[in-house]
Structure 1
Amino acid sequence: MASAPSQMSTMQTVRFRTLKQGSKPALGAVAGPVVYWMFRDQRVQDNWALIHAVHHANTSNVPVAVVFNLFDQFLGANSRHLGFMLRGLRHLSHQLNHTLQIPFFLLRGEAEETVPKFLSECGASMLVTDFSPLREVRRWKEEICKKVNESLTVHEVDAHNIVPLWVASEKLEYSAKTIRGKINKKLSEYLIDFPTIAPQSRKWTITETQSIDWDDLIADVLSRKGTEVPEVNWCEPGENAAMEVLMGSKNGFLTKRLRNYSADRNNPCKPSALSGLSPYLHFGQISAQRCALEARKLRSSCPQAIDAFLEELIIRRELADNFCFYQLHYDSLQGAWEWARKTLLDHAADKREHTYS
């Protein structure tokens, strides 16, 4: 296990990138707090972005807070998505407030408006934010950087991928084959354990922590967002539930269901062969790095299953991020490789046995 200083050094140099460098504060000016805008990685544990924010706050002897912006609409999210996310955020806010004494603020509206307003009101000196390859999120960050005070610095941390996207590759990769070797060369450097979040040197006292009526919020959001696709009752949200799915004593993936993964994961008749981690990885309620660390410990007992799991968890996931980041048309046929577009055109006139609704 690497020492905490080594991990912090690695995180400081390449796990983040500077989106905006703030100007030097005036002589004698008091530094403002650090704000972590959480978006993609909705967890307290094993979160490089939160670690980064607390580290910088302690270095500058300023407080730190976490904000989350709830959008009225985001990429077709419905009750099933929003219910799961909000229940996870309720659990997260409790952990932040009671375990780390870090306040959690919930903003509602368009991020390019709400986030700069919050930063201005609290006089923040730094904004730390999650990395996302999606166009919309990148546009929000560009707008935020334009609107905030010139003295404010903005850092983006890739806490979602094990090897940060800009380290894994500097270009659009053709396939898993072309990115696999690049990622594997970096794993020994990046697949390390997480440092413990240090206690804060200064607590947040600028404003009172807002009171969030989670039951009312969830009921309000779910009544308006795609109720025709209801929530599921077999998947409990939150960090604790995610860890239980990963390695719980009753039915954990690594502890009870791992052996059949490599052979049965693509068999729709055997859903229990799957890890069951996708919802938690999607909303960042568990770290892919934590999953990989725990899985790697078991490789000697189930090498084939572990290798198959790590291939999906690391290589295939990070390939998807690479595609969305470097291919601006990732969500249309324009983004398909030329051979794929040519194949579609070649067969455009083919007769089809069925035309489905």
Structure 2
Amino acid sequence: MTRIFSGVKPTGHLTLGNYLGAVRRWVAVDQHAAEALFCVVDLHALTVDHDPARVRRLSRQAASLLLAAGLDPDVCTVFVQSQVDEHARLAYVLECVATDGEMRRMIQYKEKSARERARGGSVRLSLLTYPVLMAADILAYGADEVPVGDDQAQHVELTRDLAVRFNQRYGHTFVVPKAVHPQVGARVMSLQDPGSKMGKSDGDAAAGIVYLLDEPEVVRKKVMRAVTDSGHEVEYDRDAKPGVANLLDILAACTGREPAALAEDYHSYGVLKKDTAEAVVEELRPLRVRHAELCADPGYVDGVLRAGAERARGLARPRVDAAYRAIGLLPAG
């Protein structure tokens, strides 16, 4: 069976964009169609200034939300990255294969380091090298496929390059994975800036972001205040009417209809916003209920993560041990 690896970074609260764009597909398709590993990649959250308590809290919340969304630990493996030492073990070995030039060409490094410097902060070395850790996340498990969006495609190409280079220099050790670009469940943009993806940002940008744990009234308020476009016609045109198109995309994802067909049912922005808000509230209701149940039983979540880490460790350790031997390190014991 094909093996896939996907991760979510606990740098902010999970959003409607995360859910409709990826998590819902993980639940409905990926966990059943492949040997699937889903990881809260908490080590990646340390590459920028952070509050340790918040990282721990968001890591647990992310894991709980993945389970609440419907990932079944009897079907797939759900775990936290830092609880499996093989990620960090393999990352250093791969750093000995990667080059400084490769790291500095990473688009996300250029963008994030520029933002850090603009704030007057220093850039952590881990921000430069975290694509190698991401490669280790994938290669440790012999993943055949990595479902990614366009913003992560460069990192998967690096992973492929490192796997091929290691195999050529030290003997065949790693599966060379391929990036797959599954049909996005929904292209969800910020409600206040429909030209930008609905990310996990806080502060001023939060007004345009629907978080999975937002109360229903908060969801309704955010959707009703969504930026629309000039004119009054409800048309599905991402270029000419990005605000309206974003609402139609969200409504379509929640109802199973096509956005262009939905546009024909509406003659005012207000009614479209109201129906979209109610559709989002209903889409998230079962997830919120299940999440509350999981929060009331933290021992269950801890047990799932312990079992997931043990299973992941069993899959990763033989390959990482083989990489250590191949590159010239003495075996332990």
TM-score in terms of structure 2 length: 0.37
* Higher relative helix content: 2
TM-score, normalised with respect to structure 1: 0.35
